[in-house]
Amino acid sequence: MKYDYLIIGAGFFGAICAYELSKKGKKVLVLEKRNHIGGNAYTRNDNGIQVHQYGAHIFHTNDKDIWDYVNNLVPFNRFTNSPLAMYKGRLFNLPFNMNTFHQLWGVTTPEEAKEKISEQRSEMEGKIPTNLEEQAISLVGRDMYETLIKGYTEKQWGCSAKELPDFIIKRLPVRFTYDNNYFSDNYQGIPIGGYTKIFEKLLENVDVRLNINYLEDREKYNDLASSVIYTGPIDAYFDYELGALDYRSLKFEHKVLDMPNYQGNAVINYTEREIPFTRIIEHKHFDPVETSHTIVTKEFPKDWKLGDEPYYPINDEKNMDLFKKYRKLAKNEDNVIFGGRLAEYKYYDMHQVIRSALNCVKDL
Ligand code: UDP
C-alpha cells in the first residue's frame, strides 16, 4: 500500500493528524471534498482582506501548550473579541459586564449591578434552571434576557429558548468589571495573514487531493492505505442507515463595500427577533489592513436539510441517542478512526479539536 493513513477532511482534526503523523515518518494522504483546505476555518484573501468564508473564527484557549503549538506554526496577532449587540438601534457591550449593566440600567457600581440582577432573577425563586431561558434569567435576569439573549438565541437555533439545553448559554460569561473581552481565556488572537496559512504549514509535506468525495468511491481509496482517519459527518459514513443527525445551518451573505470602515468593530450581534440575521462581521478588523474597501458578512441561521452545510450539531436527547448508535457502529469499524466536529457530533472550539487530534495521534 502506498500510504499508512488516509485522512478524510482537511479541517483542523484532519490537518493536525496529517502533520503529526508525517512528522513521525508515516505516509499520509489527505482527501478533501471542497476545493480548498482548512475546513470551516478557511480564510480567503480578497484584495488584502482575509475573509472568514464560513463565519468568524477567533482563536482562544487556556491551554498554553496549544497556544504555543499554533504560534509555532504561524504568528498570531493580539486580537481581542469585544462584540457589540445592537437592539432596536441601541448598542450594548458584550459579554455581560459593567458596561452592559450601565447601558441597560444606568447603574455605575458592581454593588448596584448585583442588586439589580438579584432583584431581576428573583422570579426564579431558587429554582434550578432546566433550559436555556431559565438559565439565562437566573444568570442575568429578565431585562438582559429579553434585550440581548432571547431574540438572538431563538434566531440562531430556530426554536424557543425554553426548548434549548442550558449549557449553550453557559458559554456566555458575566462580569462585574468594565471588561469587554468576550473570552475569559488567557490566550487569544488571529493568525496574521489568515487561517489558511496554518493549514498550508500543517500540510506542506503531505499529499493532499482536493475536490474528492471519499464516500462516493471509498473502496478505491481504502486500497491506498492501511488505516483511515475520517472527519466527515458520522451518519454520512454509514449512509444514514439509522437516519440523519440534525444540524443547524447558516447562510452567509458576503459584501464588498466601497468604504474603509463600515461598523468599527469585528463583530456586531443583532439581538432583535425581527432582524433575520444574527450578526455582521467586518473581516478587516480581525486582522487589520489599510484598504479603501471593506468586506462584511451577514450571518443568517437556517434550518438544515440533507445536502446543506452542517454547522452546529443539535445536542438534544433525540440526536444524542442517534449519535450514540452511530458511535457504536463506528467502534466496530476496523482501522477507521472518527474524529472532529462532524464525526464526533460535538460543538467544538478550535483549540479543543486540536487537543483532541493530538491525543488521537498520541494514542496511535
Ligand atoms: N448569545 C446570545 N446573545 C448574543 C450572543 C450569544 O444570546 O448576543 C447566546 C446564544 O444562545 C448563542 C450562545 O450564546 O447560541 C453562544 O454564542 P456564541 O457567540 O458564543 O456562539 P458561536 O456561534 O460563536 O459558537
Distance CA 312, CA 246 (A): 9
Cα angle 194, 71, 181; round to 5: 75
- Ligand 1 center to 170 CA (angstroms): 10
What separation in Å is there between the alpha carbon of 298 and the centre of ligand 1? 15
Write the pLDDT tens digit of every residue in 198-248.
999 999 999 999 999 999 999 999 999 999 999 999 999 999 999 999 999
* Ligand 1 centroid – CA 243 distance (Å): 28
Rg (CA), the chain: 22
Mean pLDDT of the 113-117 span: 96
Ligand 1 contacts (CB < 6 A) are 85, 94, 148-149, 152-153, 156, 168-169, 171-172, 269, 271
Residue 57 has pLDDT above 70, yes or no: yes
Q: How far is the CA of 278 from the centre of ligand 1 (A)?
A: 9
Type and span of the H or E element at 229: strand 225-230
pLDDT, one tens digit per residue, over 138-174 is 889 999 999 999 999 999 999 999 998 888 887 678 9
pTM over 0.75: yes
Q: Which residue has the cell 488505516?
A: 227
In testing the pocket of ligand 1, which one of 52, 93, 137, 171 has its CB within 8 Å of the most ligand atoms? 171
Distance of CA 65 to the CA centre of its chain: 20
* 2-31 mean pLDDT: 98
Task: Give the residue whose CA is nearest to atom 10 of ligand 1.
Answer: 153
C-alpha cell at 215: 464516500
The per-residue pLDDT of the chain, averaged, comes to 96
Taking the CA of residue 338 as centre, how many other CA atoms within 13 Å lie in the half-sphere pointing to its CB?
24
Ligand 1 pocket test target in 146, 156, 174, 347 with most atoms within 8 Å of CB: 156
At 284, the pLDDT band (50, 70, 90 cuts) reads very high
In 3D space, the residue among 292, 193, 323, 251 whose CA is nearest the CA of residue 53 turns out to be 251
Q: What is the DSSP string of 145-194?
A: IIIIIHHHHHHHHSS-GGGS-GGGGGGS-B-SSS---S---SEEE-BTT-
List, in order, residues 6 or more apart from 155 with CB less than 8 Å away. 273, 276, 277, 278, 301
Average pLDDT rounded to a whole number, residues 328-335: 97
**3-79+187-245+314-363: which CATH number, 3.40.50.720, 3.40.50.2300, 3.40.190.10, 3.40.50.150?**
3.40.50.720
Residues 358 and 351: beta-carbon distance below 8 Å: no
Q: Does residue 104 have a pLDDT over 70? A: yes
Task: Report in angstroms the alpha-carbon separations of 245 from 175, 239, 315.
Answer: 36, 12, 10
The ranges assigned to domains in the chain are 3-79+187-245+314-363, 84-169
The CA distance from 332 to 335, in Å, is: 9
Residue 62 per-residue DSSP state: S
**84's grid cell:** 457589540
Which ligand 1 atom is the nearest neighbour of the CA of 56? 24
**Å from CA of 223 to ligand 1 middle:** 43
3-class state of residue 138 by DSSP: helix
Tell me the catalytic residues.
Answer: 171, 175, 248, 279, 299, 347, 349
Determine the residue type at 146. E
pLDDT mean over 328-332: 97
d(CA 90, CA 330): 49
Q: Cβ distance 244 to 234 under 8 Å?
A: no
If pLDDT is split at 50, 70 and 90, which confidence band does 99 have?
very high
- Give the mutation target among 91, 152, 174, 188 for probing the ligand 1 site: most ligand atoms within 8 A of CB: 152
Nearest alpha carbon to residue 311 among 37, 54, 102: 54
pLDDT at residue 171 in the model: 63
